[in-house]
Amino acid sequence: DSKTGTINLPETKVYSSKIQIEKYETGNENKKLPGAEFVLYKVKDSQKLYYKWNATDTKVEWVETKVNATPKTTDKDGAASFEGLADGPYYLEETKAPAGYNPLEKPQEIKVAGSDTLTITAKVANSTGDLLPSTGGMGTTLFYVIGGIFVLASVVLLITRKRMEKVEK
């Protein structure tokens, strides 16, 4: 039909910033590390929201649980990326370290500012070696409590014995 008209479409926001991960060995940026797995999250109203890529609609969704997040694994060049991001702070959490390397101890904060650059490179270093086992914990607390009880019982016994000696004299 040759009639013309106006169609009102819903407003669609398209975010095109991305975080490019560059995974390498600590002290040797030329040694790239494949096989590291990451999830990305942001904090909104004191709640972590995890990045989930919706391939059908080619868009990012934010989910409340890490198990529903879309993990990204570094390739042979130590690279992986999270795309479709708006401006703001994000946190990159390593969920699996490459074989023979230690995982990051805490998430790495990355700030996206699309007006400056559309790709933010997050350089992530990993150290080799075994993690030291944690020490202390509940086992040592139990020893402290039992030791404290013995010290207290000894003091009570000592005071009682001194009083008994005074009474007998």
Digit-coded pLDDT (tens) for 124-152: 888 876 555 556 666 677 778 888 898 98
> Which H or E run contains 97?
none
The answer to whether the pTM exceeds 0.85 is no
Cβ count near 50 (within 10 Å): 21
pLDDT of residue 32: 94
Judged against a pLDDT cut of 90, whether residue 89 lies above it is answered with yes
User: pLDDT tens, 109-119?
Assistant: 999 986 566 88
Q: Return the higher-pLDDT residue of 16 and 106.
A: 106
Q: Read off the amino acid at residue 28.
A: N
pLDDT, mean over the chain: 86
Burial 102-134 (b: 16+ CB within 10 A, else e): eebeebbebebebeeeeebebebebeeeeeeee
